[in-house]
Amino acid sequence: MPRLAPLALALTAVVSLALHAHEPHDHAHGSHNAAAHQHGVGTLDIVIDGQQLLLELSTPAADLLGFEHAPHNQTQRDQLDSLMNTLRQPEKLFALPAAAQCSLDSAELHSPLFALHEHSSDDAHAQHEHHHGHDDEHQHEHADITAQYSYSCITPTRLEHLDVTLFDLFPGSEKLILQAITPQGQQGGELTVTDRRVRF
């Protein structure tokens, strides 16, 4: 199992390149530019390669959390903890056909907010709030949240569709721009609460 992780990473990198290299957008070098994101709109990249299924979800933090700054208080720290917990359980975000028998190999979360959150002690937060509590209010920086999931599927031929259920949990997420590479080829599209099924 541990051997899958580097493979998944390598595949994700290749896929990111393949999917984004020729994107007509003007943002730099194919990476998602957090400063340019539009609230309510995220991306979902899907790769099916042999028995491996890779999902990469990237959304503005605001869509999942309601804010995009480092947590200011215990309530916001709890919100962030709760979100990270949820994101580590992709069965709450995506529904896969049981017949495909996919099992999760890894879940990786990335966000500047998580880094700020985990590298700060509560004492530091308390001091920060006390002395500088108002400074953050004047910053209007954007932050993305990215989650990467790698699955192994025993019967990938039965992976005929994927339903995005995260719209139910996160009403702030209104639309996901889909890009998929599967044995059937490449496909794009838009997913919403009323049009949430990807067919392979």
Binding site for Zn ion (CB under 5 A): 60, 68, 142
User: Which residue number places its CB atom closest to Zn ion?
Assistant: 142
Q: Between residues 62 and 198, which has the closer beta carbon with respect to Zn ion?
A: 62
**Closest to Zn ion by CB, 92 or 142:** 142
Tokens of 178: 């889909």
Residue 67 Cβ vs Zn ion, minimum distance, rounded to whole Å: 9
Cβ closest to Zn ion, residue 5 vs residue 115: 115
In the complex, the smallest distance separating the C-beta of residue 37 from Zn ion, rounded to whole angstroms, is: 5
In the complex with Zn ion, the residue whose CB is nearer, 60 or 156, is: 60
Shortest distance in whole angstroms from residue 13 CB to Zn ion: 25
Question: Shortest Cβ distance from residue 193 to Zn ion (Å)?
Answer: 20
